[in-house]
Amino acid sequence: MATESPEAADVLAARIEELERERDRLLTIVEILQEISGTLHFTDILQAIARRIGDTFGLDRASILLADRGGKTARLVASYEDPSIRNVVVDLARYPENRRALDTGETVFIPDASSEPDLVRAKGALARRKAKSITVVPLKHKGSAIGAIFLRTYQGGTQFSEADVHFTQLIADLTARALRNAHRYESLARKSEKLGETTDHLQRERLVLVAFLQRLLGAFTARDVDAQDILSETSAKELERLVGVTLAVVAEEAKG
């Protein structure tokens, strides 16, 4: 019986480890889809995704940013390490890796943050956090970057592989789709609310108008005035003016 060589055993072990990681990635996608399908509020969606990514890779930092108009700032809207963060303004001049991803729409991968020339100003802070690699994957809508997923590993932790970067790009695509759905839902909800307010306002106007006419007719009845005499003495132009004044009063009364 032939014995298995150490080299073959190592290859087999590496293959089994890769398959296990692939299984974990697929499970993470399923869990993300299950979690975001339960809500259409974008803040909850982004926080769920940041948490899942951070748990999957054991990261030092996992954050999601949404780009502001003008390209100088972004909004930190979800954070793995601090779930209470919801809407913090980020100056992109201080984070060139994020700005590069948002400007180019391309994934930025920095395998060693401590030796990256663009991050020399943050070298001390990165050293204190024992940061290792940085990955920034843009969130795209119609070809343009509308935000980004920021991931940072620490020295001694799990290193990011090419497969991990591709996986994060898949998560970014799911995130962008979920954001579009949430935006559509919130837009429809606002339109529905506005329509309801308009309907309520028109209903109040009708009620005020009916009440006004009832009181007006009652007053004329009490005075026993012949309507034909009034009409013969009042010009059409004056009647039109009175109607306009009446409708203006009704509208004001309907506002409550």
Residue 204 domain-assigned? yes
| 2 inside domain | no
Would you state the structure tokens that stand for residue 22, as one six-digit string?
Answer: 């692939």
Residues 204 and 176 in one domain: no
- Which of residues 155, 189, 223 is at a domain's end? 189
pTM of the model: 0.64
Regarding whether 104 and 24 lie in a shared domain, the answer is yes
Alpha-carbon span 97 to 77, nearest angstrom: 18
pLDDT at 152: 92
249, part of any domain: yes
Q: Are residues 210 and 136 in the same domain?
A: no
Q: Are residues 77 and 183 in the same domain?
A: yes
Domain count, the chain: 2
Q: Residue 1 domain-assigned?
A: no
d(CA 7, CA 118): 41
Question: Is 159 in the same domain as 219?
Answer: no
Whether 60 is covered by a domain: the verdict is yes
Helices 236-254 and 162-223, interaxial angle, to 10°? Answer: 130
- The CATH number of whichever domain residue 42 belongs to comes to 3.30.450.40
Does 237 map to a domain? Answer: yes
Residue 142: inside a domain: yes
Q: How far apart are CA 250 and CA 204, in angstroms?
A: 9
Q: Read off the DSSP letter of residue 82.
A: -
The pLDDT score that the predictor gives to residue 38 is 65
Residue carrying structure tokens 């591709």: 166
pLDDT-flagged residues of the chain (< 70): 1-4, 36-40, 182-202, 205-206, 208-240, 242-243, 247, 250-251, 253-256
Q: For 76-98, how does the pLDDT look when each residue is reduced to its tens digit (9 = 90+)?
A: 999 998 888 888 999 999 999 99
Together in a domain, 240 and 177: no
pLDDT in tens, 33-92: 777 666 667 788 888 889 888 888 888 899 999 999 888 999 999 999 888 888 899 999
Do residue 241 and residue 127 come from a single domain? no
Sign of CA dihedral 192, 198, 200, 206: negative
- Which of 174, 189, 204 lies at the terminal end of a domain, its last residue? 189
Q: What range defines the domain where residue 233 resides? A: 192-254
Same domain (yes/no): 135, 31: yes
In a domain? residue 250? yes
Residues 143 and 225 in one domain: no
